A and B are shown apart, each in its own frame.
Chain A
Amino acid sequence: DIQMTQSPSSLSASVGDRVIITCRASQTINSELHWYQQKAGLAPSLLIFDTYSLQSGVPARFSGSGSGTDFSLTISSLQPEDFATYYCQQTYSTPQTFGQGTKVEMK
């Protein structure tokens, strides 16, 4: 199974901050890396698919980058509605696997 390791596990930030979350795969996954946001009590929602592509309706302050085994999610200017938990996911091979999550909290 491909292991996905996110860092940090949690972070504290303020509105307007630039936030970067990284995700490392235990082997190459091409570009089949996706990012989800989950708010308490709700299902996850897709932010970025295939490493770079912004899902329809997602604000442009979210962006994704990376290749091979190392990927990142950037929030350029954190907004109040962005305080949530973020997960990366690889769908390159079965079983599809998720990172352990990064909780973004208000400083």
Chain B
Amino acid sequence: QVQLVQSGAEVKKPGSSVKVSCNDSGGTFNYYTFNWVRQAPGQGLEWMGRITPILDTANYAQKFRGRLTITADKSTATVHMEMRSLKSEDTAVYFCARDIGVSTTYYVYWGQGTLVTVSS
């Protein structure tokens, strides 16, 4: 059974960085596209960026360019999301989600979410 398992909750100070991981337990890791989506408290879903491990190139929403890095570790089937220069407005649940391969763009599998709290 496919599972995306994310790392645990984080509490960070403004100006610091956070790295959240997402491990994919099933399938052909390299050929899926992994997306990161965040949800601020009581708010909707916001797409942040994505990576396809076989291509090793990430795409980012303009809003996050310069302080977001998404990487993929093929040896451990894990995708990482690192955000720098954190602000209180970055407090949110961060989800990884992926498609099911060629010609699919919708998110069939989701991680459980990781709460990142940014507070002084």
Question: Contact flags (1/0) for A93-107 with B, using CB distance below 8 Å?
Answer: 011111111000000
Q: Is the CB of B106 within 8 A of A34?
A: yes
Size category, B interface: 10 to 19
Residues of A within 8 A of B111 (CB): 43
For residue B12, give the distance in angstroms from its CB to the closest CB of chain A. 22
User: Does A55 count as interface, using CB distance less than 8 angstroms?
Assistant: yes
A94 to B59, CA, bound (A): 9
Output the nearest chain B residue to A41 by Cβ-Cβ distance.
Answer: B113
Residues of A in contact with B, size category: 20 to 34
A89 sits at the interface (CB 8 A) = yes
Tell me if A43 and B59 are in contact (CB < 8 A): no
- Assuming the contacts A43-B110, A45-B110, asked whether A91 and B46 have C-beta atoms less than 8 A apart, the reply is no
Q: Does B61 contact A (CB under 8 A)?
A: yes
Residues of A within 8 A of B113 (CB): 43
A87 and B106 in contact, given A43-B112, A95-B62 (Cβ under 8 angstroms): no
A89, B44: Cα distance in complex, Å: 11
B107 to chain A, nearest CB (A): 6
For B46, list chain A residues within 8 Å (CB): 98
Interface string of B8-52 (1 = CB under 8 A from A): 000000000000000000000000000100000000111100000
Q: Is the interface of A mostly helix, strand, loop or mixed?
A: loop
- On chain A, the residues within 8 Å of B97 by CB distance are 43-44
Beyond A43-B110, A96-B105, 16 extra complex contacts between A and B, CB < 8 Å: A32-B105, A34-B107, A43-B97, A44-B45, A44-B110, A45-B110, A46-B107, A46-B108, A49-B106, A50-B106, A89-B45, A94-B59, A95-B61, A96-B47, A98-B47, A100-B44
The docked-state distance in angstroms from the alpha carbon of A36 to that of B47 is 14
Residue in B44, B59, B104, B105 whose beta carbon sits within 8 Å of that of A98 in the complex = B44
Q: Report whether A46 and B44 are in contact in the complex, using a CB–CB cutoff of 8 Å.
A: no
Mask of A1-34 contacts with B, CB within 8 angstroms, 1/0: 1000000000000000000000000000000101
* 30 chain-A/chain-B pairs, Cβ below 8 angstroms: A32-B105, A34-B107, A36-B45, A36-B107, A38-B45, A43-B111, A43-B112, A43-B113, A44-B45, A44-B97, A44-B107, A45-B110, A50-B106, A55-B108, A87-B45, A89-B45, A89-B107, A91-B105, A91-B106, A94-B61, A95-B47, A96-B35, A96-B47, A96-B105, A98-B45, A98-B47, A99-B44, A100-B44, A101-B44, A101-B45
